[in-house]
Amino acid sequence: MKLLYVTGILFLTVTFSVNACPASDRAALLAFKAALHEPYLGIFNSWKGTNCCKNWYGVSCDSITHRVADINLRGESEDPIFQKAHKTGYMTGSISPAICKLERLSSITIADWKGITGPIPSCISLLPFLRILDLIGNKLTGRIPSGIGRLHRLTVLNVADNQLFGGFPRSFTNLSSLMHLDIRSNNISGQIPKDFGKLRMLSRALLSKNKLRGSIPESISKIYRLADLDLSFNQMSGTIPASLGKMAVLATLNLDGNFISGTIPATLINSSITQLNLSRNAIQGTIPDAFGPRSYFMVLDLSYNRLRGPLPKSISLASYVGHFDVSHNHLCGAIPNASPFDHLDATSFSHNDCLCGKPLIKSC
């Protein structure tokens, strides 16, 4: 009886300490919290007690190792905390390098807090289990950590809407598991690495609104799974690689607002692309007469370029052309009286040299 009692106590003690997070993880979380200031919602009020795996807001642990595995703090969320406060989140402070002591972290989401400043701690590249790094919507400055390429399990890198600067670090194309890349709206400069195509798992590459320059690397077209490529509003120059039009699943290609020159490769017109925006570049030549049944465009925006010549006859063979814009070019000749154009109004064709026919007022 006495033995049973002692065993019972022992069992309870053991289960308790096994389920609790290690003191070192708890200390790292508290140091991380100390560098942040969240004035309105009190999300950190729950960060108390010895077991950081239990009821700490935004913290979850691996059920076997009881090490902290995820930090999930979103400033815009359906969580009752936000609904009660009728506010979206706001936080100041910075991301403490203490976060890197949580060496079993698999995801870090610190998103949409609007006021968090300072750099992405460079030690983040030493977290070997990291799969998700989502820091969108803060005021982070500094560079993408130079060692980031060591994160060979990383599938999501989202640092959009911050104030990061500097170029892609040399190790970047070593992110061999990366599927979703979003660096939109920062001040990232320099060239897109020539070997960008090494990112074989990439399906979305969203790089718009930065200061990227140089030409579009041909190697991008080797990324078999790439469905969405957005380079709009950068300082990209050079020509459009024809190989982009031969990609298997590329659906969105946004190159608008750059300094791209040369002609439109015919391959883009007869491709898997359904949204093509080449607006506001320096593209010359004629619109390729290469439309066919494969041409299915929800968006085809070629406005504000230097295109000449007529609208191609083959456009009547396209399966679908939804939003169409060739305004502000030097096109000339009759607008084909064809089905893809039935629904369009004059603004799609305005400010050209001598286009004529419906829906323009000028008849041919």
Ligand X SMILES: *[C@@H]1O[C@H](CO)[C@@H](O)[C@H](O)[C@H]1NC(C)=O
* Subset of residues 19 to 58 that bind ligand X, contact rule: CB under 6 A: none
* Subset of residues 138 to 197 that bind ligand X, contact rule: CB under 6 A: 149, 163, 170-171, 174, 185-187
Rank residues 41 and 178 by Cβ distance to ligand X and give the closer one: 178
Residue 301 as a binder of ligand X (CB under 6 A): the answer is yes
Rank residues 44 and 196 by Cβ distance to ligand X and give the closer one: 196
| Least distance to ligand X, CB of residue 351, Å | 14
Residue 107 as a binder of ligand X (CB under 6 A): the answer is no
Handedness of CA 303, 309, 311, 317 (dihedral sign): negative
Rank residues 33 and 139 by Cβ distance to ligand X and give the closer one: 139
Q: Using CB under 6 A, which of 299, 315, 335, 355 touches ligand X?
A: 299
| Least distance to ligand X, CB of residue 210, Å | 8
| Least distance to ligand X, CB of residue 340, Å | 15
| Least distance to ligand X, CB of residue 26, Å | 33
| Least distance to ligand X, CB of residue 47, Å | 31
Residue with tokens 């629904």: 343
Rank residues 37 and 246 by Cβ distance to ligand X and give the closer one: 246
Euclidean distance between CA atoms 22 and 19, whole angstroms: 9
Residue 128 as a binder of ligand X (CB under 6 A): the answer is no
Give CA separation, 253 vs 4, 40, 166, 244, 277, in Å: 70, 41, 24, 9, 6
| Least distance to ligand X, CB of residue 189, Å | 9
Q: Are 183 and 205 in contact (CB under 8 A)?
A: no
Rank residues 112 and 256 by Cβ distance to ligand X and give the closer one: 256
Three-state DSSP class for residue 215? coil
Rank residues 51 and 141 by Cβ distance to ligand X and give the closer one: 141
Closest Cα partner for 279 from 248, 301, 261, 262?
301
Terminal C-alpha separation, the chain: 105
Residue 256 as a binder of ligand X (CB under 6 A): the answer is yes
Binding mask 305-344 for ligand X (x = CB under 6 A): ------------------x---------------------
Residue 198 as a binder of ligand X (CB under 6 A): the answer is no
| Least distance to ligand X, CB of residue 165, Å | 7
Cis geometry, peptide bond prior to residue 97 (ω within 30 degrees of 0): no
HSE, side-chain direction, 13 A CA sphere, residue 71: 27
Cα–Cα–Cα angle for 215, 219, 223, rounded to 5 degrees: 125
* Subset of residues 222 to 241 that bind ligand X, contact rule: CB under 6 A: 232
Q: Are 186 and 210 in contact (CB under 8 A)?
A: yes
Three-state DSSP class for residue 26? helix
Binding footprint of ligand X, residue count (CB under 6 A): 21
Rank residues 58 and 257 by Cβ distance to ligand X and give the closer one: 257
Euclidean distance between CA atoms 205 and 221, whole angstroms: 12
Q: Using CB under 6 A, which of 153, 294, 351, 358 touches ligand X?
A: 294
The residues, any chain, with a CB within 8 Å of residue 4's CB and separated by 6 or more, are none
The token pair at 186 is 């920062």
Euclidean distance between CA atoms 9 and 14, whole angstroms: 9
Cα–Cα–Cα angle for 211, 215, 221, rounded to 5 degrees: 115
Binding site for ligand X (CB under 6 A): 149, 163, 170-171, 174, 185-187, 232, 256-257, 270, 277, 279-280, 290, 292, 294, 299, 301, 323
